[in-house]
Structure 1
Amino acid sequence: MMAGYKEPGFQDRQKAAMEARQKALAKLKAKPPVDPEVLAERAAKAAEREQAQAEKRAAAKAEKEAKAAAEREAAEQARLAAEAAKPKERTAEELKAARDARYAARKARKK
């Protein structure tokens, strides 16, 4: 026959926590120190990786700026084309000359 589950008391939980803490400390103490060569190699790799990322970011930024400049140039060209296509405002003299020409044409048709 099986014994029933026994709820661990405060003392039992405290003892288990202390043992776990001691076990973790022993594991950390048993870990060999990192070789300075390995540390230097890791640092060099990290610096190399950071350099590559910085170059990649700079290239992306330059590409983005070039694209933005091209878009601004295209917008300027479109604005200039729209401005050139827009009919020019006529001066008062030009309007008067056109009105006089219409008046003269009407007079000529009546004769």
Structure 2
Amino acid sequence: MSAFKTDSFGDRVRNAASARKAELEKFRTKTEVDEKVVAEREAARREIVAAREARALERKAAADEKQAREAVEKAERDAALKLEQAAREVEAAAEAERAAALEAERKLARDARYAARKARK
């Protein structure tokens, strides 16, 4: 059996340096691969953002169209309500005119009765 081998200081320094070099090479190769992956991810993110913006524009266009359609419908309803109100006002005026004519007719009949009563006396 061989005795326990102890490394000299120089051996330990060389081993540490070679380990550092190995780690550095590992990092360099990993960063090259990571840069490609990062570029791919960034491109995918850009596509997602572009799609999101396109959907937002579509939603805004749909909302604007809906708002315009609602404004037209409201204008139509308001016009119909004004027309109905005008028709009610005309009907109320006609009813008031009929009531006034009826009242005038009743007054004439009452006056005629009064005159007839006076004529009999």
User: Which of 20, 26, 34 pairs up with 1:29?
Assistant: 20
Q: Which runs of 5+ in 2 are unaligned?
A: 1-15, 106-121
Give distance in 1, aligned partners of 2:25 and 2:67. Answer: 62
* Aligned position for 1:18: none
User: Which of 37, 41, 51 pairs up with 2:33?
Assistant: 41
- In the TM superposition, 1:55-74 aligns within 5 A as 55-74=47-66
Give distance in 1, aligned partners of 2:35 and 2:72. Answer: 55
Give distance in 1, aligned partners of 2:93 and 2:54. Answer: 60
1:40-66 C-alpha deviation (Å, 9 max, x unpaired): 322111111000011011111111221
C-alpha distance 35-100 of structure 1, shift in aligned 2 (>3 A): closer
- Greater Rg by CA: 2
- In the TM superposition, 1:71-86 aligns within 5 A as 71-86=63-78
Q: CA deviation at 1:32?
A: 3.5
**Aligned length in residues:** 81
**Structure 1 or 2: more helix by fraction:** 2
Give distance in 2, aligned partners of 1:100 and 1:75. Answer: 38
Give distance in 2, aligned partners of 1:81 and 1:32. Answer: 71
Q: Does the residue aligned with 1:33 lie in a helix, a strand or coil?
A: helix
Q: CA deviation at 1:36?
A: 5.8
Q: CA deviation at 1:102?
A: 4.2
User: Which of 85, 88, 96 pairs up with 2:82?
Assistant: 88
Superposition CA RMSD, Å: 3.4
TM-score (norm 2): 0.48
* Aligned position for 2:45: 53
